[in-house]
Amino acid sequence: MTDRTLWSYAEIAAHIRVRTDTVRSYKKLGHLPAPDLVEGGKPYWYADTIRVWSARRPGNRGRSDPAR
């Protein structure tokens, strides 16, 4: 089952445990995937999009990599 809940910067920040401004910076620097939806100039991502992205981002691999 897919999660089609839309997340803004605040939900993404809570999910990856950083400040909202950090997520905005990630977007500005091109580290976030393209938004799934833009409404009124505000970007939104599906929860599944962010879960896949966050699982692949550097720093998240350390816990599952036995060499670290």
pTM: 0.82
CA dihedral 24, 30, 32, 34 (to 10 degrees): 110
pLDDT digits (tens, 9 = 90+) for 34-62: 999 999 999 999 999 999 999 998 776 54
pLDDT at residue 68, as a whole number: 38
SS3 (DSSP) at 61: coil
Question: What angle separates helix 20-28 from helix 9-16, to the nearest 10 degrees?
Answer: 110
Q: Taking residues 27-34, what's their average pLDDT?
A: 96
> What is the C-alpha separation between 58 and 10, in angstroms, rounded?
20
> What is the C-alpha separation between 59 and 3, in angstroms, rounded?
24
